Amino acid sequence: MPDERLQNMRNSHDNGTKSNLGRRSFLGVAGLGVAGALGTTTITGGLAAPAAAEPSTPAHVNGRRKLGSLEVSSVGFGVQNMSRSYETLVPYRPEMISIIRAAHDHGVTFFDTAEAYGPFECERILGESIEPFRNKVVITSKFGWNIDPETGQFQMGLNSKPEHIKRAVEGSLKRLRTDRIDLLYQHRVDPQVPIEDVAGAVKDLMSQGKVLHWGLSEMGPNTLRRAHTAVPLAAVQNEYSMLWRKPEEAIIPLCQELGIGFVCWSPLGVQFLTGAIDENTRFAPGDIRGMEARFSAENLKHNVELVKLVKQWAERKQAAPAQIALAWLMAQRPSIVPIPGTTQMAHMLQNVGASSVAFSPDEIKELNASLSGIQIQGKRLPDMILSLSDVEAPSER
């Protein structure tokens, strides 16, 4: 990661001035903003996250779901921020391993990570954690950022050239201590490489037994159709939560049409839906949420209406707010699987318990109607990065 560029951006943000970074330089830290920080939970500046309440439902995952033909637990685990949270905190590695193993003990069979997380380190943590029960779980990883396969250094932008994909996967296999990746995603669409070429490289890896299923993340509908035609996809992984519902417009219906599973990253809205953030929250330097328009002081005053609604339902269902947010996702379609991540044991148990929170059809109808009446203000960080980038993204975005 280019530390100097990152520090310049932090300084500019902390001083309340417009960043002097060029658009190419901004994209150079996209690996942090999009691939290395979103969807995680930390202590917020000026306001500590409240301790998780004891789970009001059994702390064991209920049920299994299908991502294409791949069966996984109804709640997964995102191993994303276990090496470094928002570039400010370094979690205690033995505790992270204990949490992952405890998640498996409580019924989680689906663990998600990527070479970009760390980079590399979260794959190492996951690999060590699941080694005793590797054949009892489904693991994922991702390629697509321009990361040096040997050093882990972030280069500029994206890289899904077939030869780079194959080198990236070899590295992931070693770090994950396994001979195969159950589900391999392209982390972001590379506009310089036809998706058919990407599919061809993955197909080669499948023929060697190194990859069993594949998927895409944050792609548009045209790319999704083309990729699925080339080599059938098991799953799509996009941001999706009460805070960010855009996938409902095209991607989720298309997945339903094609028989593709949908995996939700950032299902708790980067801690927003847990109730840990309110209109008075201010973020510490280095916390990526401090750069997001939807978490600006002005927009938080409006957006906390969503948190109030979640808390009302939490009281009504005698559950934690995070459990309401996760249970709502699972209630939308049977092919949807959230992958909340955490570095705290209590939060993991709480997330697992969400699979026992049930909504009746009338309750879901009522809750969805209330959600539709709340318009979230401000852009999410990935869209801000794309709008500032001079690297052309696929037109379908």
Question: Residue 249: exposed, middle, or buried by beta-carbon count in 10 A (0-12, 13-18, 19+)?
Answer: exposed
CA 397, CA 394: separation in Å to the nearest integer?
6
21 Cβ neighbours under 8 A, 6+ residues apart: 5, 8, 9, 12
CA 23, CA 251: separation in Å to the nearest integer?
28
The tokens describing 264, both together, are 């939700």
Residue with tokens 């059809």: 361
Three-class secondary structure of residue 272 per DSSP: helix
29 Cβ neighbours under 8 A, 6+ residues apart: 1, 2, 5, 6, 9, 154
> Among residues 355, 354, 363, which one has the least CA distance to residue 52?
354
Its sign, for the CA torsion 314, 317, 320, 325, is: negative
Q: Which residues are catalytic?
A: 117
CA 277, CA 132: separation in Å to the nearest integer?
37
What DSSP state is assigned to residue 394? P
Three-class secondary structure of residue 345 per DSSP: helix
Query: What residue ranges in 267-374 does DSSP mark as E strands?
Result: 336-338
191 Cβ neighbours under 8 A, 6+ residues apart: 158, 391, 392, 393, 394
Residue with tokens 């996967």: 169
Q: Phi and psi at residue 30, in whole multiples of 5°?
A: -60, -30
